[in-house]
Structure 1
Amino acid sequence: MGLVMVGLIAVGAPEVRDAIVNGKTDAVLSNPGEYQLSEEGEVVTRSVFPSAEVIDVNGATVDSAEFIGVPMVVNLWFAACPPCQREMPDFAAVHELVGDEVRFVGINPIDSASAMTDFADRMGVKYELYRDPLAELTDALGTLGFPYTVFVDATGVIVGDAGVLTEDELVGLINDYFDIEGGSDT
């Protein structure tokens, strides 16, 4: 019988990492691709999309609260994350379908600007990308793993969240949360 080691990349506040290490977490990601659930089984959402400083691809600092105003899909990811790699082409495809009605924002707390944009270009991503090098937005959203996606309505209320998503799942959630029809030819 072989030994299997699993690595966890923890990005976030020290109290979050300590809670995970000490077994005192109040939320678990039960199944990849499904909603992040609390121990009580309720969808974990924040009432309002947080304000935090992020950095655009040109190095300018932007307040994330400026994103609010239209329905929004905010995807937290990084290039070396295998599930992020799998879902990124699907996000690019869905953005092409509904990008005029829904704002797509990619948030990357790990990679350099060049690594982030090079990877996104290879994946066909044409939506907005921002770095979160201090993990301010990542922490404020309560991110425990990657990828992590939040759905924000036009008023700034977080209406849902998810882990790994396929193209069809993403289209379905956009329709559910924002009543916007999108779809693929498949």
Structure 2
Amino acid sequence: MRARLEWFALIALTALVGAGWIYVSREANTGLGPTPLTTAPYVGNLAPDFTLPTIDGQAVTLSDFTAAGTPVVLNFWATWCPPCRVEMPYFESAATRHAGEIAILGLNQAEPAEAIAAYARDHGLTYPLLVDADMKVNNLYGVLNLPTTVFIDHNGIVREVLIGTINQGVLAERIEQLMD
């Protein structure tokens, strides 16, 4: 009977500590209305908007593309990521093939613009490469693994999130689906 009482006390203490942790670590909602979305985008929901500079300092805003009815492919990458390096030529080819029909944006993970520009120059990349120096957009999108690719339709709705390297055929298929 005593062992049962000890287990009950342990479970109650654990529940109390857990509830206290949830209370202390909750996010405060300082405004009126619902708490803003702070987690990664979900398929079927609006993609979180952002503005980032390109490697040459021009500002790029996601909603500018979707407001114009242009689908977007976001590819989160880094120069030090071998799987990212494998798929970069596929994104370059797709950006050239579908210029004006779809926006392909490479979001670099916390590297300086100079390093990204050197990589682009050395590998012949011409599509927009964005600098996410403080990883705000990487965190906004919940990117934990590289590469990660997010497919967004012309209405700004996330249609698919693929984690890991994708091949040229899969990329072409997903782009065709976005353009339908």
TM-score, normalised relative to structure 1: 0.66
Structure number with greater Rg is 2
Q: How many angstroms does 1:66 deviate by?
A: 2.9
Counterparts of 1:175 and 1:162, CA distance in 2: 16
- The structure-2 alpha-carbon separation of the partners of 1:80 and 1:100, relative to structure 1 and needing over 3 Å to count, comes to same
Q: Deviations over 1:82-133 (max 9, x none)?
A: 0001110111112121123111111112211111121122222211111111
Q: Distance in 2 between matches of 1:47 and 1:57?
A: 29
2:144 maps to 144
Gaps of 5+ in 1: 1-42, 180-186
Task: Work out the number of aligned pairs and report it.
Answer: 137
Consecutive unaligned residues in structure 2, runs of 5 or more: 1-40
Aligned alpha-carbon RMSD (Å): 2.0
What is the CA-CA distance between 1:138 and the residue it aligns to?
1.1
- Residues 43, 158 of structure 2: 8 Å contact kept: yes
Quote the residue 1:87 is aligned against.
87
Q: Distance in 2 between matches of 1:89 and 1:162?
A: 17
Aligned pairs (5 A) from 1:1-186: 44-45=42-43, 47-68=45-66, 69=68, 70-163=70-163, 164-179=165-180
Higher helix share: 2
Percent identical among aligned pairs is 27
Please give the TM-score of this superposition, normalised by the length of structure 2: 0.68
Instruction: Judge conservation of contact 1:74–1:105 (CA < 8 Å) in 2.
Output: yes
2:108 touches 2:130 (CA, 8 Å); kept in 1?
yes
CA distance in 2, matches of 1:71, 1:149: 13
